[in-house]
Amino acid sequence: MEVIVERDKKRLEELEGIIEKNLKSFYEVGKSLLEIQRDKLYLHKNGGEYQTFKAYCRGTWDMGRSNAYELITASKVIDDVSGAPDTPICQTRPLFQLKDNPEQQRIAWARAVETAPGGRVTAAHVAKVVFTASKDIRRGRSSF
């Protein structure tokens, strides 16, 4: 029985390593998609087969426009708040609603890091910080 438990623990560590590595790779994908979109590099794919970024994403990556823009937005948020490309996408998603104000993103992120229960920043905690601050702003009190 102990051999099975050790084998399972080892396999869990391997799988968690794979998850961690791939959760972080979204940053590089988002940055790459941003450059392709911004510089219209998709026009050079297959002799100009794709005339829009949306068509390029669908045809090349089988990815919808909204998925591509979510990755782009997440990479921008990471650059705006921490510059740490190892931040998982799920932690950045709550900050998307502040995408037009990088300063508010930085403040909300700093507050989420400061107040994280047990020092562990989770998407739920970031969402709570952003929600509370947004509610205060609507009431005329600036949390930021």
Residues 44 and 98 in one domain: no
pTM: 0.68
Domain that holds residue 11: 1-81
Residues 20 and 63 in one domain: yes
For residues 144 and 134, give the distance between their C-alpha atoms in angstroms, rounded to a whole number.
Answer: 9
For residues 23 and 37, give the distance between their C-alpha atoms in angstroms, rounded to a whole number.
Answer: 22
Residues 72 and 9 in one domain: yes
Predicted confidence (pLDDT) per residue in 66-117, tens digit:
999 989 988 888 888 866 666 777 888 898 888 778 888 888 888 888 898 9
Number of domains in the chain: 2
Residues 73 and 98 in one domain: no
Residues 38 and 102 in one domain: no
Confidence of residue 35 (pLDDT cuts 50, 70, 90): very high
Please give the structure tokens belonging to residue 90.
């799920």
Residues 51 and 20 in one domain: yes
Residues 62 and 22 in one domain: yes
